[in-house]
Structure 1
């Protein structure tokens, strides 16, 4: 053994010896320990030990509530689950927090074929925050006692023998998507401080659809003030919103095609909602809602509410009442009115025949094109007139020159006036059709009925058909190529080509028409196949309409009519509104020129 080892061992012995000496128990402590051992031995032997001489004859009884604090017996426990279900929903309850732990929407599957579970796990929180004795108690942290009776689940947390909190859930109908929910506070007025209590609801949305980006794009918390239209937080960014403008009729955690909605019998006083975009795999967004419930210091206080857990199908939500159908985005004004009162009723009517949804979209497109055919015809005739006038317009341009744009425009306007042509006649019918084209941009991406419906090679009309998967991301295009989007783009290019032949477009206007379809290829590549399918059909039918109109219209006859109009005296010409405004414009221009000459 070397010197260093010996020195170390010697110092350790000194430390141990000192510890035994200085920390030796006192005589009183040793006596108390002997009495404890004697007491334990007597209890094991089944005899009652005599009370030590220095202890009182009877020790006071200590209440467990005083030892553990509020809800002492509910602070710790073992988490267990219970299930309520009907043909529409499967609800899994947790005794920790007395809450609905997860919700499965039956008969619906996620994009990978698993059951649709709206929320699950520890990220889902629901409960009250109570101010008791200056301390904030969260029921989400308590262990409730669960009692199931038929389709009813009662969760109770006892503050004491005659004071408790009770959450009562009920599935009242065999196929119901709504769940009754009552909060009962019994005797809690003796311990709860303040005149209101807080209800907290938090959840993390789980991915259900093929396109994570699209699901985030159409998911947001919604809320509705009493006597006001529903509103929502941002779809594209994290946001918080204080709800204090009026009483709150309901709060909805809306996902793309599914929603969880909390509807109180008596509106909430005020609250706040929050949304956060999540980046973890399989997660869409995180929602938080906090609302205030009035506490009137009654011995028994009840709060009646209900949940809606289900699909964002317009008809189903409308049956729930309270304008829940407005969770389905139909676009901005006037697009939402076109979708709600024109497109949706026609779609529902066709749906009643039980056809495949690809066929329904086809018939819907044909019906709309027939209704809009007068506008298409008028647009074609106007463009044909402009094409026939082009040689005369070229002569005017050669005569006046391109440098004097004002004079050139005036000469064009004179020509239009002479032949009775409205240069905007071809654009106005197209502009009138534009709201319908834009309305479908909102209609199909939010149409639940298309979810999971296949047609031809498209397995799901509610999302993109990734006919070609790149395995990597291509700028502007993405990680796939949608065949229906490609067909839509090709049809648009063909339509543009023939449209230029009809209108006689030249220069920049001619090439802009070819650029736009390419731009839309990048934009619509990630949009639902059903939307691209509609645009493809609309292009092909418009092309067919124009081909039919072209075979019926004689350009020479139109040219002769324009010549006859040119020969008519000015007073015999029937002026259109455009021509009236044109005359006013020309008079104003003439007055300006006259004034400029005077000033010189």
Structure 2
């Protein structure tokens, strides 16, 4: 290498060294560059971690979806022939005649709602006995070890006619679960059957029974909620035996261990009844009465009923539903069911009077008279005419005692109060000699009591009076109000019933007349005031009762006052006194009762003397 080449290389090296020295980065630039490189490295690491996490998440979702698919597949596989019926869309179908409209749902193959077409609620709305998914009817069973309820299954409709419909669940090998419903013209009874076909190897029931559950929410239908709730509840008939019930305020239940023919959810004027073709082997019933008076819900009723049953055999279970009014002759038309016992007409003689006297006469008058206020008036007059002989006898007995009052006063003045037993014996001797029975006035009144009590039971249960107006009362089946109070009075209410007020006034007048007729100096102190307490109690007790009942008692008492005044005009009390005095002169033959009474009185007198001697000793 020559001299020039070496010089050139040295110069180039020197230039590069000088250029590097001039462009050398400072310490700050070196630190900044290091921070940039570190930041880029962290970003790359985070992106790598996110990519890895995303990959893991995608894999997990895929696994979860696979598990869900496997679970759904398992459920569908376990459901077997029921799989197509687990999910579906609810559809409605109607059976209807001139009396009722029954809406049915494919969900559960059940009755969804019932409307009574010839009746309205107190505020003019359609009268719906029940409606909605809250009301249930169905039964549970097991299939492939899983429990199902017919309420949760969506049935197919295989037959639909104007008066009948069939809901069905079917399988590929002829398996069938069928729910049939039919409704005849002019009837309140819905025929219902449950059929099973070829289900023996797949379906099962607990305890070899079909456990029916029937739940119903009962809405308020009448103006007087408290009165309506009082007359509602659950009624049930034992097989070939009597009808019983749980009702009234509060929550009640009953465990029924003996066979039943039917169970009914009863309102004041309407009922829903489930009737067995044969029997229900047992049951549990429960009624809940909400205390909130602002709610439109009146009661919640439930019945759990069992029927001996096995899927091993093809079987048809026959049932019936009654949806209709609590009308005596309508219920009576269904033979051998005793549905007419849904009407609380009273037990024993009170029920007999209503069934065989009051109701036939009332319905006979219905055929000629359209105004129910006039019918009640005529019915009251007929009853008072039938009872007139007893009323007359009671008055005559009172009149005899009244004309003897001067002689009784003489006895009371002659015998001091300290000798009460001697005074009583003297009065009884006077009655015996005069031929007067001191109980003669009470006995006719006691004989009238069954009719009064029977009428007390009849009017609140009579659907004929429902929404029938008379004078100022818009509905004779509930209270009449001439003044709605802005507040509620305890035991009285928040309104003023005029018929109840008139009834109380006439009872006060009648009490005053009776007191004037029977007043005696021997009357117990305070008894006169006590006699007026009953009309005052009526005023509170009947204020929320049916206006027809208060109207009947008002008219009845008014007629009794008229009869008393009329009899008094034609009865000669001087002649009665003369006859009694003549009787006193005749020899008196003691009856066995009088002899026993005198013996008892003498025994009591001797006992008192013995006690007096013992004290002196």
The residue correspondences of 1:47-446 to structure 2 (distance < 5 A) are 65-66=76-77, 68=79, 71-147=82-158, 148-158=160-170, 162-172=174-184, 174-194=185-205, 195-245=208-258, 247-279=259-291, 281-321=295-335, 322-446=337-461
The residue correspondences of 1:577-588 to structure 2 (distance < 5 A) are 580-588=592-600
Partners of 2:283 and 2:556 in 1: CA distance:
46
Partners of 2:91 and 2:368 in 1: CA distance:
47
- Give 3-state SS (helix, strand or coil) of 1:182's partner: strand
Contact 1:74 1:158 (C-alpha < 8 Å) held by counterparts: no
Contact 1:331 1:439 (C-alpha < 8 Å) held by counterparts: yes
Partners of 1:154 and 1:512 in 2: CA distance:
67
Q: Please tell me whether residue 554 in structure 1 is matched to residue 554 in structure 2.
A: no
1:543 equivalent among 561, 565, 580: 561
Contact 1:331 1:442 (C-alpha < 8 Å) held by counterparts: yes
1:56 aligned partner: none
Contact 2:497 2:543 (C-alpha < 8 Å) held by counterparts: yes
- Give 3-state SS (helix, strand or coil) of 1:551's partner: helix
- Give 3-state SS (helix, strand or coil) of 1:444's partner: helix
Q: CA RMSD in A?
A: 2.6
Q: Please tell me whether residue 464 in structure 1 is matched to residue 479 in structure 2.
A: yes
- Give 3-state SS (helix, strand or coil) of 1:267's partner: strand
2:504 aligned partner: 489
2:538 equivalent among 520, 530, 546: 520
Partners of 1:382 and 1:346 in 2: CA distance:
31
Contact 1:154 1:167 (C-alpha < 8 Å) held by counterparts: yes
Structure 1 pair 217–64 and aligned structure 2 pair: CA distance change class (3 A): closer
Contact 1:65 1:160 (C-alpha < 8 Å) held by counterparts: no
Contact 1:251 1:261 (C-alpha < 8 Å) held by counterparts: yes
Partners of 1:421 and 1:93 in 2: CA distance:
72
> Deviation string for 1:6-26 (max 9, x for gaps)?
xxxx99998886443345359
1:7 aligned partner: none
Q: Which has the larger radius of gyration?
A: 2
Structure 1 pair 133–418 and aligned structure 2 pair: CA distance change class (3 A): same
- Give 3-state SS (helix, strand or coil) of 2:130's partner: coil
Structure 1 pair 467–596 and aligned structure 2 pair: CA distance change class (3 A): closer
Partners of 2:363 and 2:57 in 1: CA distance:
90
Per the TM alignment, residue 120 of structure 1 is displaced from its structure 2 partner at its CA by 0.7
Partners of 1:13 and 1:301 in 2: CA distance:
75
Contact 1:86 1:175 (C-alpha < 8 Å) held by counterparts: yes
Partners of 1:528 and 1:11 in 2: CA distance:
89
Per the TM alignment, residue 300 of structure 1 is displaced from its structure 2 partner at its CA by 2.2
Contact 1:73 1:158 (C-alpha < 8 Å) held by counterparts: no
TM-score of the pair, normalised by structure 1:
0.87
Contact 2:421 2:605 (C-alpha < 8 Å) held by counterparts: no
Contact 2:231 2:247 (C-alpha < 8 Å) held by counterparts: no
- Give 3-state SS (helix, strand or coil) of 1:205's partner: strand
Partners of 1:278 and 1:284 in 2: CA distance:
7
Per the TM alignment, residue 450 of structure 1 is displaced from its structure 2 partner at its CA by 0.7
Partners of 1:388 and 1:16 in 2: CA distance:
123
| Worse-superposed segment, 559-568 or 12-21 | 12-21
Partners of 1:500 and 1:113 in 2: CA distance:
48
1:48 aligned partner: none
Per the TM alignment, residue 116 of structure 1 is displaced from its structure 2 partner at its CA by 0.7
Contact 1:133 1:193 (C-alpha < 8 Å) held by counterparts: no
Contact 1:197 1:293 (C-alpha < 8 Å) held by counterparts: yes
TM-score of the pair, normalised by structure 2:
0.85
Gaps of 5+ in 2: 1-40, 67-72
Structure 1 pair 460–409 and aligned structure 2 pair: CA distance change class (3 A): same
Contact 2:230 2:247 (C-alpha < 8 Å) held by counterparts: no
Per the TM alignment, residue 345 of structure 1 is displaced from its structure 2 partner at its CA by 1.7
Per the TM alignment, residue 234 of structure 1 is displaced from its structure 2 partner at its CA by 2.9
- Give 3-state SS (helix, strand or coil) of 1:266's partner: strand
Gaps of 5+ in 1: 1-9, 37-61
- Give 3-state SS (helix, strand or coil) of 1:170's partner: strand
Structure 1 pair 15–334 and aligned structure 2 pair: CA distance change class (3 A): farther
Partners of 2:585 and 2:44 in 1: CA distance:
130
Partners of 1:378 and 1:565 in 2: CA distance:
19
Partners of 2:341 and 2:303 in 1: CA distance:
19
Aligned residues: 554
Contact 2:250 2:290 (C-alpha < 8 Å) held by counterparts: no
Partners of 1:421 and 1:598 in 2: CA distance:
33
Per the TM alignment, residue 161 of structure 1 is displaced from its structure 2 partner at its CA by 5.5
